[in-house]
Structure 1
Amino acid sequence: MKKTLSRWLVDIWYKDPFIGVWLMPLGFLFSDFVKFRKFLYRVGVLKKHTLPVPVIVIGNITVGGTGKTPLIIWLAELLKSEGFKPGIISRGYGGQAESWPQWVDANSTAEHVGDEAMLIAKQTACPMAVSPLRVDAAKLLLEKSDCNVILSDDGLQHYALNRDIEIAVIDGERRFGNSYCLPAGPLREPIERLQSVDFIVVNGEKTEDNEFSMQITGNTAVNLTTGEQKSLQEFIGTGCHALAGIGNPDRFFKLLESAGLTCKSHSFPDHYKFQLGDILFPGSEPVLMTEKDAVKCMTFATSQHWYIPVKAIPETGFSEQLLNLLREKTKTAK
């Protein structure tokens, strides 16, 4: 049911030109609520928290995947290479921990802290804490680490936490769909929200002068049980299954297609909790999945299962501008 509903909403937001119009009044109500909530933070009715270290928020204004996770991993590596000590906070979406905040380390599981948190912590080796309340996660992070800059995953609408730099990520293919707010369209906030962020990064080809493009690449498959690595080209002509439980599964399927693979595709809702029956198929064909999905399948995967690590490559100039702004904010704070 959840899978069907997810696909139905995506069709309304990005393909159907009529049903979204009927839902527009609800979209206007949602937009007004978002603006009123932001106003309450601005006038002090709702409390904002300022941290003793710079905060960089990476988020989006649409529901669903835009490529934030690969960008956060890239940013963490960039900051470390420049001498910073980044820490990361996230909501821990999908995590079923009994209490929050939660520290993310080698003993954590996707079931407790969420799939994206596990992937980010694994890839960056940065200190990380998660909580539905980002402020609580940030406080735990500062208590348990010596980080001097915080990356806040998917925190653009979490106004309780003051931020020094905002980065909005856009899906270059789907952009803003029908441009309506929820539930009529995919927008969490009106499009004009982008006028107040510091950077706009487009996953794909940019269309505006104030945007930076970013490419997501991946050409290697890693076996979930053995750790063996193969180039994607080695799967050409073999036949395979591809599955993805991410915000935009088609992007993963297109990555495999562009590498020359012909796969039977199986899409699932974002943050889907996989079970063995979801990833087993008749025959011995390899099953390819995203790394985000793999962290939830490690305990029951077989040698048929492979994941594709990806990395973000922002256009030249983005890193320099970001670092300059961060250093300026850091100097001002002192």
Structure 2
Amino acid sequence: MNRRLEDFMLAAWSRRGGLSTLLLPLSRLYGLLSARRLRAGARAAWRAPVPVVVVGNILVGGTGKTPVTIAVCQALQARGWRPGIVSRGYGAAVGPRPRLSDEGAAAARLGDEPALIHAATGAPVAVHPRRALAAAALLAAHPDVDVLIADDGLQHTALARDLEIIVQDGRGTGNGRLLPAGPLREPPERLARADWLVTHLAAGEPAPPAASAVPALLNSRASPASPAGAARAPRAVVMRLEPEGATHLASGRDLPWDAWRAEQGAAPCSAAAGIGRPERFFAMLRAAGVVLARTLRVPDHQAIPAEALRGLPPGPILITPKDAVKCAAPHDPRLWAVRAAPAFSDPGWLDALDQALRAVAARAGAGGE
């Protein structure tokens, strides 16, 4: 979807206006077909021999799943787990058999997001539209993996999961309607079955109601990590990204953010992003004191064209790590990839995730005795 059409649809999906209402019959049909597909997948779901954590969303567009997946993977590694990542491999022509990062981890081969996750974590990655095939291939190649993280796997019910993390952004659930009358892949009440609800906000962006107080309709559900019969709402966490460092693409020189800011001074920069919501990246930079002379938005998953970069004014050009792995002009001496670290309103949620996974693993071990 090009940026102009995307902006138009995002505006239409923010309210229940005439266009949204006109599309309601198609939305109902989408809901019926989607529910049927999800049920069919769940009935034939493959269960991995290790715990599975799914990171996904019900809202179309970039909500911030990739930084959450990276944060979860790094947190589990720090706590002694050996995670592996499975993903669809969007943007790569995967073919009939899964692709493993062992055989090459370039964005053109795995897709930009799996390539970025592998580069950031070092965890083995397998990609295939059928996540169960990817999971089986990864475990066969890496028998030491003891937990799987399914990136963007919420609607892929053919892979059984133990814990779910749903990521949303400041849009919340939009107008609450399914595609194409609204921005949702599943109804709002789907949030009730998640274990965590992470809301990714830009600098200064207020939280939507669902991020600070999960609606009452979410309160009657049982978590697979809870004691039998217990019911609670998903644990709500707000995430904001903050600059951590910058890497010069042409030379590989890496600087902490404060050092990069001191070196560059207050000179104006440009910023370019081919991600789901480029405005969040630009807002993060401005909040960190960067003066942006120009910004360039590119459709998600597309490489930033070299000719578009040449049209930007002199001075540094800041891009995201996701753009860096698929950059069409990596030798442009103006390009810097800005690494961002997540700041969570509730840092303890990653400890809770670790504890929940250990409970899942313990139950599986007890069942196998």
| Same fold (TM > 0.5) | yes
Per-residue deviation at 1:23?
1.5
Contact kept, 8 Å, 1:6 with 1:269, in 2: the verdict is no
SS at match of 1:296: coil
Gaps of 5+ in 2: 202-206, 215-234
Q: C-alpha separation between the residues in 1 aligned to 2:140 and 2:51?
A: 16
**Structure 1 residues 22 and 85, CA gap change in structure 2 (3 angstroms):** same
1:253 aligns with 2:258: no
Contact kept, 8 Å, 2:298 with 2:304, in 1: the verdict is no
Alignment: residue pair count: 330
Match of 2:231 in 1: none
User: Of the candidates 178, 183, 189, which is equivalent to residue 181 of structure 1?
Assistant: 178
Alignment of 1:231-310 (within 5 A): 231=257, 233-234=261-262, 235=264, 237-263=266-292, 264-297=294-327, 300-310=330-340
SS at match of 1:309: strand
Q: C-alpha separation between the residues in 1 aligned to 2:188 and 2:73?
A: 27
Q: CA RMSD in A?
A: 2.0
Q: C-alpha separation between the residues in 1 aligned to 2:82 and 2:60?
A: 30
Contact kept, 8 Å, 2:60 with 2:185, in 1: the verdict is yes
Q: C-alpha separation between the residues in 1 aligned to 2:287 and 2:16?
A: 27
User: Of the candidates 78, 83, 87, which is equivalent to residue 80 of structure 2?
Assistant: 83
Q: Give the ranges of 4+ consecutive aligned residues of structure 1 lying more than 4 Å apart after TM superposition.
A: none
**Structure 1 residues 213 and 128, CA gap change in structure 2 (3 angstroms):** same
Q: Map Cα deviations across residues 296-322 of structure 1 (whole Å, 9 max, x no partner).
A: 116544110111111223323212221
Match of 2:12 in 1: 12
Per-residue deviation at 1:276?
1.6
> Identity percentage over the alignment?
37
Match of 1:322 in 2: 353
**Structure 1 residues 103 and 282, CA gap change in structure 2 (3 angstroms):** same
Corresponding letter in the other structure for 1:169: V
Q: C-alpha separation between the residues in 1 aligned to 2:313 and 2:349?
A: 46
Contact kept, 8 Å, 1:225 with 1:298, in 2: the verdict is no
SS at match of 1:202: strand
Q: Map Cα deviations across residues 59-94 of structure 1 (whole Å, 9 max, x no partner).
A: 011111111111111111111122111111111111
Q: Map Cα deviations across residues 24-75 of structure 1 (whole Å, 9 max, x no partner).
A: 2212221222222233345x3xx21111111000101111111111111111
State TM-score, norm by structure 1. 0.92
Alignment of 1:166-205 (within 5 A): 166-171=164-169, 173-204=170-201, 205=207
Contact kept, 8 Å, 1:176 with 1:186, in 2: the verdict is yes
1:311 aligns with 2:316: no
Q: C-alpha separation between the residues in 2 aligned to 1:225 and 1:99?
A: 36
Contact kept, 8 Å, 2:304 with 2:328, in 1: the verdict is no
Match of 2:213 in 1: 208
Per-residue deviation at 1:275?
3.0
Q: Map Cα deviations across residues 262-284 of structure 1 (whole Å, 9 max, x no partner).
A: 22111121111333223222542
State TM-score, norm by structure 2. 0.84
Match of 1:218 in 2: 243
